Structure 1
Amino acid sequence: MSTSRTDGLPVSVVDRISLVLEALSTGPMTLAKVTARTGLPRSSAHRLLEQLANAGWLARSPEQTYELGVKAYEMGQAALNQNRLLHHARPLMHAFAHRTGFTVQLGVVDRGDTVYLAKVNGRTSGSTPTAVGQRVPAHTTALGKVIMAYSAVSSQPSPDSARTDCVTAPSGRSRFDDEMAQVRDRGAAFDRGEAFPGTACVGVSIGPPDHMYGNLAALSVCAPVSVLDHQKMIGPLRVLAGEIWQRCVATDLSRH
């Protein structure tokens, strides 16, 4: 069954609800702004907003603005708490940031974007512009590049893995393919201020691309361009990825 009309607007209720919730993820909005952002008819947008507010997914202010509500927060926390990868990765990420002084991040690729799921700040890195839940074009981030590089050669993509089949490369396909080959050769991806000017990153995959954890997520270290030695950080980051991998696999094996 088709989920879109000829005018490009989604037909299914689920798609329309998703469109509204994604629009409000950027902050509170009025009905007019939601309509403009989503392209939905005003009457449809208003009906969805009111139904979502009544169900607790949205909160409605006296000024008639809408924002994500308590139920959205509860569901988000439940998703994070149920993520086994995050459960095993967080303690090791904290130890890494404390030991090295560098900020470390864990994320996935979803619909062409890097989405950060966890971040631990390091004193040496100082303030960095990324945040948990933030979306950044995958081809500009080290974390996204390393997932894309291994997804391109994965012969058995996991149905539970990130939606890397929806990743779109930037223009200049030949140059991008060359960079992906270099990522696979060195086992790490670099970002020298491409995503955020002045901020550099090194990214590594957590495990083999044909395993459920292997290309589900990746790690990256970020710091000012003037501080980060890309080559020097590959080894320590690989060690961290290996420790997370071993914990995840050991836990899975213990259940069989």
Structure 2
Amino acid sequence: MRKAASNEDSGAGEEKAKVQGSQTLLRGLDMLDHVIDGPIKLAELSGRMGLTRSTAHRLANALIDRGFLTFLPREGYQLGPKLLHLGFLAQSQADVVQIARPHIDELAQRSEDTVHLGRLDNELALYLDKIPGRRRVDISSRVGDRQPLTSTGLGKALLIDGTESAWRRLFDADQASGAPKADYAVWLARMQDYAAEGRAYDLEENQDQIRCVAAPIRDASGRIVAAISVSSAAQYMDDARMETLGEDVRGTAERISSDLGWSPRTKPPRR
């Protein structure tokens, strides 16, 4: 009987240790979240987390030992070099096509229209993936196609963070190389609106009777690394639907960006 009781006590002790270990891990992850915005002092950190100063100090020291945090005298705790290393590894392993596929599949099902995924390639928009829509609409694009940046919705989404001087240079280059003719003043006014709204349109500029809505995809640094678009016949894409669809396309792009490590708090890099 004593042996059985001892086994029961041992099992209960192991289970309690597992629970405590899980709680410590979650607290450590929570602490990293609280340090994201920059150096934070122990008193504020413990207050935000609802921990005693001694518990917060002990947990922070454990994270410092592992390289997940560093301590700056008179400033407080901030993210450590281990996270930079892990971030670079995660980014190098991220395949935007694979990560985006379930999201754009869902977008295609909701919209019933053709969805594209693409990225910048030598000042052209390179199509990386395409999901055909359910409507009988012929979208003349293939994976591997390269299209002008300034006349496609996907291309404009890739340019949203650019400067006006860069926009002008690319616009002039596309016009010189045979892109559909356009008025720069009109195009610029639209691009300024797209940059403010975080999404872009193609208003039958690249293919007659075809409209599309696009939005950029960002990586952990906030840099635009790809874009998605929804394309359909103009009869299915009146102004009201494009505005509504813009919210869905932008939301989908943000979810893909989040899977790549982006956060809404991340500011785009300056150009």
TM-score, scaled to structure 1: 0.55
Describe the SS at the equivalent of 2:129.
Answer: strand
The amino acid that maps onto 2:258 is Q
Rounded to whole Å, the distance in 2 between the matches of 1:204 and 1:84 is 18
Equivalent residue, structure 2, for 1:220: 229
The amino acid that maps onto 1:195 is N
Q: Which runs of 5+ in 1 are unaligned?
A: 1-81, 154-162, 251-256
Equivalent residue, structure 2, for 1:27: none
Report the alpha carbon displacement of residue 165 of structure 1 after superposing the two structures with TM: 11
**Aligned partner (choices 102, 107, 118) of residue 118 of structure 2:** 107
Equivalent residue, structure 2, for 1:242: 254
Equivalent residue, structure 1, for 2:193: 182
Q: Deviations over 1:128-173 (max 9, x none)?
A: 11111111111110111122231227xxxxxxxxx99984444754
TM-score, scaled to structure 2: 0.52
Report the alpha carbon displacement of residue 109 of structure 1 after superposing the two structures with TM: 2.5
Rounded to whole Å, the distance in 1 between the matches of 2:167 and 2:149 is 10
Report the alpha carbon displacement of residue 213 of structure 1 after superposing the two structures with TM: 6.4
Report the alpha carbon displacement of residue 119 of structure 1 after superposing the two structures with TM: 0.9
Rounded to whole Å, the distance in 1 between the matches of 2:169 and 2:122 is 5
| Sequence identity percentage | 25
Describe the SS at the equivalent of 1:206.
Answer: strand
Does residue 233 (structure 1) correspond to residue 245 (structure 2)? The answer is yes
The amino acid that maps onto 2:107 is F
Call closer, same or farther: CA 1:175–1:93 in 2, change over 3 Å. Answer: same
CA RMSD of aligned residues (A): 2.9
Rounded to whole Å, the distance in 1 between the matches of 2:96 and 2:202 is 24
Rounded to whole Å, the distance in 1 between the matches of 2:259 and 2:108 is 18
Question: Structure 2 matches for 1:1-256, cutoff 5 A?
Answer: 84-124=95-135, 126-152=137-163, 167-169=170-172, 170=175, 172-207=183-218, 214-228=223-237, 229-249=241-261
Call closer, same or farther: CA 1:125–1:215 in 2, change over 3 Å. Answer: farther
Rounded to whole Å, the distance in 1 between the matches of 2:202 and 2:170 is 17
The size of the alignment, in residue pairs, is 159
Q: Which runs of 5+ in 2 are unaligned?
A: 1-92, 176-181, 263-271
Call closer, same or farther: CA 1:104–1:95 in 2, change over 3 Å. Answer: same
Call closer, same or farther: CA 1:231–1:214 in 2, change over 3 Å. Answer: same
Q: Is 216-225 or 106-115 further displaced after alignment? A: 106-115
Structure possessing the higher radius of gyration over alpha carbons: 2
Rounded to whole Å, the distance in 2 between the matches of 1:142 and 1:235 is 15
Rounded to whole Å, the distance in 1 between the matches of 2:258 and 2:136 is 27
Call closer, same or farther: CA 1:230–1:103 in 2, change over 3 Å. Answer: same
Rounded to whole Å, the distance in 2 between the matches of 1:118 and 1:97 is 12
Higher helix share: 2
